[in-house]
Structure 1
Amino acid sequence: MFFRNLTLFRFPESCARSLKKLEKELDDHRLRPCGPIEMATRGFVSPYGRDAEELVHRVGPYALLSIGSEDKLLPASVIAEELANKIAKISEKESRRIGARERKRLKDEVINELLPRAFVRPSRLAAYVDTETGWLVVDTASRRAAEDTVTAIREGLGRFPATPMAPVESPRALMTGWLAHGKLPAGLAWGDEIELRDPVEAGAVVRCRRQELESDEIREHLKSGKQVFQLGLELDERIAFVLGEDLTVRKLRFLDVVLDELGEDSAESARQELDARFALMTLELKRLLEKLDEWFGLPRPDERD
């Protein structure tokens, strides 16, 4: 298991003590099956798979979690069709017009009738906490899904004051400066993907893939006033990613030099493989998070923040 996207939060040092009791605190918040008339449920599941009981996998200061969801699939078109049929039958039988309030009531009846027969779509979202340096790392580029993860942990612990990144330096301005001056911080190399935008409302947007980022074409966009909103980068020839102006990391990819460290047939079981991959991933991401903090200034909040 390697994360593919990163949405980042930080939490104060005081949280580290409660996070050491995650296993116990989350036990009452396991995922349960979606009931007959429920649209969705959410809860914690084992990172080892559906047949395992443990809710937390630990390697040193890192704790891996997995949040599961079950969502009923009930397309709006199906609801509309069933509602139209029900209204048509009532109108034909009673020869009267259906008002807005009754229509809403009938729609609720249709949904309740369809829910027990709806398909259930399961999903899983991984995250890990670093109790030593105060990072929560969620494997998603969706801000809403990441916030839901924070909420789930908060509900489990009773309290979890994790906050989104609040950079001291503007990522957009800094990345635009890197590109304009053709100079990156030590250890970084250009990727081949970029998104440039005119910062004015409804301004032009340029997205490039498999593009030489130091080309004359890109420079012309910068001269016209466009700024970098997403930038493809490589760190130490070990990981490649696209960094957004909100510091969301997308398209995270571990390069061959990292994957080779896993070796072949090194794990005797699925659990040992998870342990090896999680240990390797957190080691690499520790380096990335330290660099993000160095470049943009991402102070760990204290209890008063």
Structure 2
Amino acid sequence: MFRNAQIYRLLKAWDITAEQLAQHLAPQTFTPAGNMDMQSQGWIQPRESSNGLVHQVNRQFLLRLQTEKKILPSSVINQVTRERAKELEEQQGFPPGRKQTKELKEQITDELLPRAFTSIASMWVWIDPVNGWLVADSSTPAKAEDALKLLFKAVPKFPLEPVRTVMSPGAAMTDWLASDEAPDSFTVDQDTELRSTAESKATVRYVRHTLEANQIRQHIETGKQCTRLALTWAGKISFTLGDNLSIKKIALLDVLKEDAGAIGKNEDERFDGNFLLFAGEMSKLLAALINALGGMLPDAEVA
């Protein structure tokens, strides 16, 4: 279900119900952007069959954040501004000043907005109150923050914190490559990136390439650290781990695909079954990954 994962930790037992959470989120329900709006963002029903803004299966919550953005390239605004400025110069006998040009640009932006194309994107958010995880299906922490800001605003004292581990992911991945030994239940795959810590930031990337231990060690000895590493957990899920603990390219392997294929008789049952399968296995993967990084820092432990 998720291709990416930005990971956060619930700091204490969370006994809020799906209905209560949906009530908190209701004022943030998505509404389409108006003619003069550059962007609109809000929660939508995760499924058409969902009963509200929170889809619940066995104490696992699924949310969906939708974002609509107007596509109005700055090059178009600047071009029209130059044309209008030239017309204005001919009318008044001198070129518009900085303030007048700024006002002209704002006016043109307002004029063009109703005719701008729009792009619509959505992001899954999975909340696991049982094991204490919140995961956003985002390739970058910045995009995940959009969902977190709304949640913090909607839910009083939302008990959430970024995951902080004893070992940094970059240092741990570098150690795994240097020792040619992955942590328990993990195997190293064929994609990695090593970057110099020097000012040059020299970077070496391996894509679908066998990682020769001696060659990798040479890069590490010259001052490079691993910033991205492809891994497989328990023969079930492959993914790429970043040095900021971002997880990308999540893929269920055949053993789980077979289980997923046998779930449910209709679309709703299959969706719920696949969600539970993903949530159950992903929560185990996250626990194993945190353990491989030395565990949580004391001030980030679950109460």
**Could you list the per-position Cα deviations for residues 44-99 of structure 1 after superposition, in whole angstroms to 9, with x for gaps in the alignment?**
011114x8662111122310000001101101111111111211211112212200
Cα offset, 1:206, TM superposition: 0.9
- Residue 111 of structure 2: aligned partner: 113
- Name the SS for the 1:37 alignment partner: coil
Q: Are the aligned partners of 2:163 and 2:300 in contact in 1 as well (CA < 8 Å)?
A: no
- Residue 72 of structure 1: aligned partner: 70
**Which structure 2 residues correspond to residues 162-241 of structure 1 after superposition, within 5 A?**
162-241=160-239
Q: 1:191 to 1:136 in 2, by over 3 A?
A: same
Q: Which whole-Å CA distance do the structure 2 matches of 1:109 and 1:18 have between them?
A: 47
Residues 1:6 and 2:5 aligned together = yes
Q: Are the aligned partners of 1:11 and 1:301 in contact in 2 as well (CA < 8 Å)?
A: no
- Residue 31 of structure 2: aligned partner: 32
Q: Are the aligned partners of 1:40 and 1:69 in contact in 2 as well (CA < 8 Å)?
A: yes
- Name the SS for the 1:17 alignment partner: coil
Q: Are the aligned partners of 1:5 and 1:252 in contact in 2 as well (CA < 8 Å)?
A: yes
Q: Which whole-Å CA distance do the structure 1 matches of 2:212 and 2:130 have between them?
A: 38
- Name the SS for the 1:241 alignment partner: strand
Residues 1:89 and 2:87 aligned together = yes
**Could you list the per-position Cα deviations for residues 121-165 of structure 1 after superposition, in whole angstroms to 9, with x for gaps in the alignment?**
111000111112221101112111011111111122143242222
Over the residues paired in the alignment, what is the CA RMSD in angstroms?
Answer: 2.0
1:272 pairs, out of 269, 274, 280, with 269
Cα offset, 1:293, TM superposition: 2.0
Report the count of equivalent residues: 300
Cα offset, 1:222, TM superposition: 2.0
Cα offset, 1:215, TM superposition: 4.0
Q: 1:200 to 1:179 in 2, by over 3 A?
A: same
Q: Are the aligned partners of 1:179 and 1:214 in contact in 2 as well (CA < 8 Å)?
A: no
- Name the SS for the 1:126 alignment partner: strand
Q: Are the aligned partners of 1:230 and 1:244 in contact in 2 as well (CA < 8 Å)?
A: yes
Cα offset, 1:22, TM superposition: 1.0
Q: Are the aligned partners of 1:194 and 1:231 in contact in 2 as well (CA < 8 Å)?
A: yes
Residues 1:22 and 2:14 aligned together = no
Ranges in structure 2 where 5+ consecutive residues have no aligned partner: none
Q: Are the aligned partners of 1:196 and 1:205 in contact in 2 as well (CA < 8 Å)?
A: yes
Q: Which moved more, 1:3-12 or 1:170-179?
A: 170-179
Q: Are the aligned partners of 1:69 and 1:123 in contact in 2 as well (CA < 8 Å)?
A: yes
**Could you list the per-position Cα deviations for residues 199-232 of structure 1 after superposition, in whole angstroms to 9, with x for gaps in the alignment?**
2233311111111123432232123221111111
Q: Which whole-Å CA distance do the structure 1 matches of 2:267 and 2:156 have between them?
A: 32
- Residue 289 of structure 2: aligned partner: 292
Paired residue type of 1:192: Q
Q: Which whole-Å CA distance do the structure 2 matches of 1:158 and 1:70 have between them?
A: 26
Paired residue type of 1:6: A
Paired residue type of 2:277: L
Q: Are the aligned partners of 2:36 and 2:110 in contact in 1 as well (CA < 8 Å)?
A: yes
Cα offset, 1:24, TM superposition: 1.4
Counting aligned pairs with the same residue, the percent is 31
- Residue 58 of structure 1: aligned partner: 56
Q: Are the aligned partners of 1:19 and 1:131 in contact in 2 as well (CA < 8 Å)?
A: no
Q: Which whole-Å CA distance do the structure 2 matches of 1:228 and 1:302 have between them?
A: 26
Q: 1:84 to 1:257 in 2, by over 3 A?
A: same
Cα offset, 1:303, TM superposition: 9.3
- Residue 46 of structure 1: aligned partner: 45
Q: Which whole-Å CA distance do the structure 2 matches of 1:302 and 1:221 have between them?
A: 35
Q: Which whole-Å CA distance do the structure 2 matches of 1:202 and 1:152 have between them?
A: 39
With normalisation by structure 1, the TM-score equals 0.92
